[in-house]
A and B are shown apart, each in its own frame.
Chain A
Amino acid sequence: QVQLQESGPGLVKPSQTLSLTCTVSGGSINSGSHYWTWIRQPAGKGLEWIGRVYSGSPDYHPALKSRASISLDKSKNQFSLKLTSVTAADTAVYFCARETWQVIGTTPYNWFAPWGQGLLVTVSS
């Protein structure tokens, strides 16, 4: 079955750029009806959707739109997140996930599954 795995540095200095990659195995990133998504979770807190990419232009959380960039690398079956000008508020566990969209009849179904195991990124000097 499809599996996702995050990779990247666990420590980033303030004002620098956070760069993470999600490697997809067991299936193609080119498959239809799927968006490829980043979600984060500060320690002890809830989940925040960062953004997603399909084959076209990405979608971002409005609060992060000016700093976030999500892209696909179909040749490597990977997708990536870049977040610029990071601060301590960006310290979190970052998850990549597959978003599935289906329409059955007139009813849209959508969910996140599977998820990567998560990667803790700490912003500190």
Chain B
Amino acid sequence: DFQMTQSPSSLSASVGDRVTITCQASQDIATYLNWYQQKPGKSPKLLIYSASNLEAGVPSRFSGGGSGTDFSFTISSLQPEDIATYYCQQYEDLPYTFGQGTKLEI
């Protein structure tokens, strides 16, 4: 299985801050990586697909990058509604695997 390691596990930031989360794959996954946002009690929501493509309707303050084994997810200016847990997910091979999540707090 491809192991996905996110860091940090939790992050406290202020409104307006630039926030970056990293995700490292145990093997080369090219750009076969997605990012999801999960708010408490809700299902995950797709934000970024194929490492850097913004899903339709998602605010432009969200962005992603990277390839191979190292990826990043950035919120350029943190908003109160961005409080959530963020997950990376690889689709290079089955079984699909997720990172352990990064809980973002203000």
Contact = CB atoms under 8 A, between A and B. Distances in A.
Contact of A116 (B36, B43, B46): B43
Contacts of A95: 43-44
B34 interface: yes
Interface in A49-108: 49, 59, 61-62, 95, 97, 107-108
A25 interface: no
Interface stretch (B10-18, B20-28, B76-84, B89-97): B89-97
Interface string B44-55: 111001100101
Contacts of B36: 112
A113 B101 contact: no
Per DSSP, chain A at the interface is strand
Contacts of B1: 62
Contact of B34 (A59, A107, A111, A115): A111
Contacts of A116: 43
B44 A47 contact: yes
Contact of B95 (A49, A110, A111, A113): A49
B100 interface: yes
Interface of B: 1, 31-32, 34, 36, 42-46, 49-50, 53, 55, 87, 89, 91, 94-101
7 contacts: A62-B95, A97-B43, A110-B49, A111-B49, A111-B55, A112-B44, A112-B89
